[in-house]
A and B are shown apart, each in its own frame.
Chain A
Amino acid sequence: MNTTPVRDTELPLRYPFPRGPLGTPPPLVHWARKHHPVCPVLLPSGVRAWMITRKDDIAAVLADRRFSRDLAFAGAPRLVGEDFTAVPGSIFNLDPPEHTRIRRIVAPYYTRTATERYVPVVTGLVDDALDTLAAAPNPADLVDTFAAPLPPAIACALLHVDPDLRAAFVDNFAIQTTFVDNPATMTDATTAIAGFTSQIIDSRRHDPPEHRDDPIGALLTAHEHGTISADELHGTASYLMVTGVESLVSPMATGPLTLLLHGNQLRDCRKNPELWPRAAEEVLRYHHNGVLGLPRIALEDVDLHGITIHRGDAVCATMLGATWDPGHYHNPAKFDIHRDENADPTFGAGPHYCIGANQARMILTIAYQRLFQRFPTLELAVPDYEIPFDTDSMFIRPTTLPVTWQT
């Protein structure tokens, strides 16, 4: 693979790992997949976890009830601090059957058919963002003008959140996925998001039924009917907002960057627009979002590749390990929109398979297609080696992406 050689491989590995070039996975992930498929890792919080990197192992662990997502208790292993894995009742932090009960309420809004319904809204918001870019000084920073503001705008529209309520809290969303120096900052951000979520829910309480046709509206109705608790309502609504925003910022930036770096494939998409979904799929495979994944916890001793994962141990599944697993992807280091394999493992596996997978694919396809149709001469305004990636974020994203185009 075209990755830099791995040095300093003393165990446990210390996370975060140095990244590969241009938003590619840390070479340590490939090294661990090959040599230590169940690899001890020291998290920034000081907790030790097992990192699994092979696609088959990840699929098995994520579907295995002996590994729990319920970390909403004091003293649970955390990546950095008290992030959204500490929020009780959130769909992210529940195991079946509680998880299934809540997922059933919001799932109808994330099916393929439901996703189709959102296409006009998303297209309109993408075009609005492109209008802003067109009016910005050229050259422009694509992160500031497009990748960062677009996902919150889309999340607000799809979750029926008043954009005025959202504005002040975007920074707290980002802190949820940051390797902040001080865990107290993480706790403060989690508290701020909880307060913000209450405001949103309160603002929706008097909505008539016909205005509740969205995930937060459905959760509110379910709560009123006694199907879910107040914690489940607040925790899940807050999680849907955080993940609906933060998970899309990275591919909104890495996608255009990687397509610009693969001009032939970009030209293929332009010639044959049916390829745009393939481009979005390959970006999702190639970049995923983060590196390590948030911890699960073993409910009993489990043996894997000769290692005993003890009851109470934290386990992190590395989706980039799966989507770059040479056992399943031909030449995974090659960005190739024409490949046959899809990006499914990027969305996880088992009961927590990403509920927003269809939506993410739809949004990114529209965003890439509209961006490059509107700006057919778009090019990087700097050499690729100058583009800095955010080493503070657990997500892989450039901090700035200067572009220019012919006017």
Chain B
Amino acid sequence: MSQEFHVSPYTERCARVWDQAEHAVIGLSVWNSYFSPRRVEALIGWAARAFTAIDVVIPSYESAYTLVAAGIPPLQAVRRARRAVVKLRVPARRALASAGPGEQHLHTTTSLCGRRRYRYLLRTARAGYQREPALRAACHAVAEQALRSVPGDVAERTPPTADQLAIAARYALAELPLLADAPGIFGKSSSLVLYHRHIPLADPLLSGATDAIGLCPHQGFAIATPATESPRTEGTPR
């Protein structure tokens, strides 16, 4: 039987984007037990039915920056990240093929650099990070939470240093373009970003706390959780 998902838009504007249901971006994250192969397949299968079009995005080598910041040697960190990405890619590809959209709708933050709009927004995000304290603080908050999730001795302990945050923040920066303008990146008139819990990095975009990178007026965000469960506001850090 097909699994249904419950959708909780963040704001009224997000609800309007959900009403249109034109396009969804499904973000998957590594080292997150929520995204079991079965869950990934169920989520993609449901979204393919609920939206006119979908695209699935999994992180790329940027995940390794969290491990590197936590003290793991880069080569080892990258290999761990690659293995984790494959674990998401396999069920995501299978689901996209069987649900209809096809595997060309599976992307990583590396493959998205083939799209002009993503590249432009990534440059904008990086420049904004250097320039604007509000955006930098938002990225550091994400980085710090991610660092805390790294198992082992490395990250319990003392608060991360500025250098550690700067490295780990690169993961957040790769994600920012998708949060700012998924319609532009995927050539849609509106788009809803779905994740199983609240995405803190969306907040400064929605509230206007940052003007380093603009939010597309037709971009929305929603929490999507299995219909049998209530929406989660907490969980394993991304």
Contact = CB atoms under 8 A, between A and B. Distances in A.
Interface of A: 137-139, 377, 379, 381-383, 386-392, 399-400, 402, 404-407
Interface centre among B73, B74, B119 (most CB of A within 10 A): B74
Contact of A137 (B108, B113, B116, B170): B170
Contacts, number: 61
Contacts of A405: 74-75
Closest 5 CB pairs of A and B: A388-B114, A138-B74, A381-B61, A400-B113, A404-B78
A391 B114 contact: yes
Nearest to B170: A137
Given A137-B170, A139-B64, A382-B61, A389 B114 contact: yes
B170 A388 contact: no
A388 B74 contact: no
B60 A386 contact: yes
A231 B75 CA distance: 53
Contact of B114 (A139, A399, A406, A407): A399
A137 B65 contact: yes
Contacts of B108: 382, 386
A127 B74 CA distance: 22
B94 interface: no
A227 B73 CA distance: 61
Contacts of A381: 61, 64, 78, 82
Interface in B73-107: 73-75, 78, 82
30 contacts: A137-B68, A137-B167, A137-B170, A138-B68, A139-B61, A139-B64, A139-B65, A377-B75, A381-B78, A381-B82, A382-B61, A382-B108, A386-B60, A386-B108, A386-B110, A387-B110, A388-B110, A388-B112, A388-B114, A388-B115, A389-B114, A390-B114, A399-B114, A399-B119, A400-B113, A402-B60, A404-B61, A405-B75, A406-B74, A406-B75
Nearest to A399: B113
Interface of B: 60-61, 64-65, 68, 73-75, 78, 82, 108, 110-116, 119, 167, 170
A399 B78 CA distance: 20
Given A382-B60, A402-B60, A404-B61, A139 B74 contact: yes
Given A139-B78, A406-B75, A407-B73, A382 B110 contact: yes
A402 B62 CA distance: 9
Nearest to A389: B114
Contacts of B75: 377, 379, 404-407
Secondary structure at chain B's binding surface: helix, strand, loop or mixed? helix
B119 A383 contact: no
Nearest to A140: B74
Contacts of B60: 382, 386, 402
**Of listed B111, B113, B167, residue having the most chain A CB within 10 A:** B113
Contacts of A402: 60-61, 110
A399 B117 CA distance: 12
Contacts of B113: 388, 399-400
B74 A407 contact: yes
Given A137-B65, A139-B68, A382-B108, 9 more contacts: A137-B167, A138-B68, A377-B75, A382-B61, A382-B110, A387-B110, A390-B114, A404-B75, A406-B75
A371 B111 CA distance: 24
B86 to A, nearest CB: 8
Nearest to A390: B114
A405 B170 CA distance: 18
Nearest to A387: B110
B35 to A, nearest CB: 19
A389 B116 CA distance: 11
A392 B68 contact: no
A391 B119 CA distance: 12
A273 B153 CA distance: 43
A387 B75 CA distance: 18
A157 to B, nearest CB: 26
Given A138-B74, A377-B75, A404-B78, A388 B111 contact: yes
Nearest to A400: B113
A199 to B, nearest CB: 26
A404 B110 contact: no
A305 to B, nearest CB: 36
